[in-house]
Every structure is written in C-alpha cells, then in structure tokens.
Amino acid sequence: MAAEDQIPRAQANPEKSKKRKKPKKDKWGQPIAAAADERAVEQVQEQETPEEPAVAAAEVGEGAESYECGKVVASGMPYTTTEEEIRELFDRFGPIRSLQLSRFPDSGNFRGLAFVTFESDEVALKSLELDGYKIGNRFMRVERCRITASSKRQKKTEFQSDPEKPDGCLSAYVGNLSWNISEKDLRDFFKSSRIASIRFAIDKRTGDSRGFCHVDFEDDESLEKAVGMNQSELRGRPVKIAYAIINRA
C-alpha cells in the first residue's frame, strides 16, 4: 500500500476536512446575510425611533418585553415594494395612523423595512397574521415593535406635560418627525409663521435625523401660532410642538 494511501483522508486533504460554514437562514428557510445583518431590524428601530413624548406600551406576561402600542414592524420585503402596496396590505386589518418606510441614507431607496402604526393595539395584533406572507419572491416578517433601550432612557428625561413658556422664548421643540423630513416640509407646515431658522437634531454616529428639531421664530406671534398646531399631522405623523426649554450651563 502506498504511503499516501495510509494517511487518513482528513489529513491528506486538510482543506476538505474543514467544515464549511452553512449559510444562515431565517425561520422560513430563506437565506439571510452575515451576522451583522441579523440585528438589522433592532438597529433600525434604535436609529429611527424619534425622541418624542412617551407612547403607551403593552406588556404581555411578567418579565416580558415592552412594545409600542398599535405599532408593528414589517421586514424582509423586496426593495421594489411601494408605499401604496404596503398600505393596501395592512389596511385590510383596520385604519392606519401612520406608515414609515425605512430607506438607505445614501440612495434614498426603500430597504425592505417599514413601521406601521394602527389606531389601536387590537388591530396591530391582528396584522401579525401577515407574518410569513409571501410578497414578491420573499417572505415578509411582521412582529410587534419593541420599545428600545434608547427610547426607554428617553422616557425618563422627556416631559410628561407641556413645559411653560420660558421668558424671551422664540423657539419651539418639534418632535415625532418622519426620518426624511426636510426644511422645506417644515417651512410649508409653518407657513403662517415667520421662521428665522431650523435646527435639526442629528445622530452623531450615523448622521441621520433623530426625529426632532428646534424651530426659531422671528416674533412671538409666529411662535404662538406654531405651538397652537400641536398634534397636527405632517407626512402621516401627529407632530409634537411645544415651547423649547432653554438649557442653562
């Protein structure tokens, strides 16, 4: 017997003996990307949860996670899916209060992830029936939208009632904004007021909007008009408008 025939096959072919890493698949058997993408939904929720007054949460069971009331997150959709198609898909369960599509910051294209907020938590729970629904050549995942650690921390610091107007205040806090809101959108929204400047809050790590801004007005009358528009809808979201708190060192 030749010497090479006496060598165990695993030793003779060390490269073949190495176990190939099997591609990871989701719960429907569809291949998914590397480990970095496994937390994509969680990361997007962290980045796109605007800093706004606390929303009601529903908890199931002792020690269970907390979820945003009436809100679900749909992921795994084809990038070609339109807002109209998503709205039509979820509208069958009940009235939709807002629909927020997540987009790639560089191209602005849809990234297959959307946040759907219904009028009630009961309707949101019914929409979970779409979990595993095939859309295009992919299987969509629908789950309740968790209250992230960042939003929990935010709740501890944000005011539960509107702050009183500080002396000399000409600025307003504007929250619960859509991630892709523009300065033009805000100027059109506050068209009855005279705006001096708009200061968006930007995430230093990602460069994306943090979901709120401060608007400086030219006169007190303009500020009062703006604050009077609190909870008015802008791009499908009820906007929080309050007097800006002046931070003193």
Q: What is the pLDDT of residues 2-49, one digit of tens each?
A: 444 554 444 445 444 445 555 555 544 555 443 334 455 555 555 444
Examine the domain organization and report whether 122 and 167 are in the same domain.
Answer: no
Residue 10 domain flag: no
Examine the domain organization and report whether 41 and 149 are in the same domain.
Answer: yes
Contacts of residue 207, defined as CB under 8 A and 6 or more positions apart, other chains included, come to: 105
> Final residue of a domain: which of 130, 154, 178?
154
| Concatenated DSSP letters of 182-210 | -HHHHHHHTTTS-EEEEEEEE-TTT--EE
Examine the domain organization and report whether 41 and 106 are in the same domain.
Answer: yes
The CATH number covering residue 70 comes to 3.30.70.330
Examine the domain organization and report whether 52 and 142 are in the same domain.
Answer: yes
Examine the domain organization and report whether 140 and 178 are in the same domain.
Answer: no
Q: Residue 61 burial (CB < 10 Å; 0-12/13-18/19+)?
A: exposed
> Final residue of a domain: which of 119, 154, 189?
154
pLDDT tens for each residue of 50-90: 444 333 444 334 344 588 888 999 999 999 999 999 999 99
Residue 189 has pLDDT above 50, yes or no: yes
Examine the domain organization and report whether 40 and 150 are in the same domain.
Answer: yes
> Final residue of a domain: which of 154, 174, 190?
154
How many domains does the structure of the chain reveal? Answer: 2
Residue 184 domain flag: yes
Examine the domain organization and report whether 171 and 150 are in the same domain.
Answer: no
Residue 104 domain flag: yes
Written as six digits, the tokens of 135 are 């859309």
Examine the domain organization and report whether 100 and 173 are in the same domain.
Answer: no
Examine the domain organization and report whether 192 and 179 are in the same domain.
Answer: yes
Look-up of token digits 């929303």: 55
Q: What is the signed CA dihedral for 223, 156, 205, 176, rounded to 10 degrees?
A: -40
pLDDT tens for each residue of 84-109: 999 999 999 998 888 888 888 778 88
- Domain residues for the domain of 75 are 35-154
Residue 4 domain flag: no
The sign of the CA dihedral 83, 84, 90, 96 is: positive
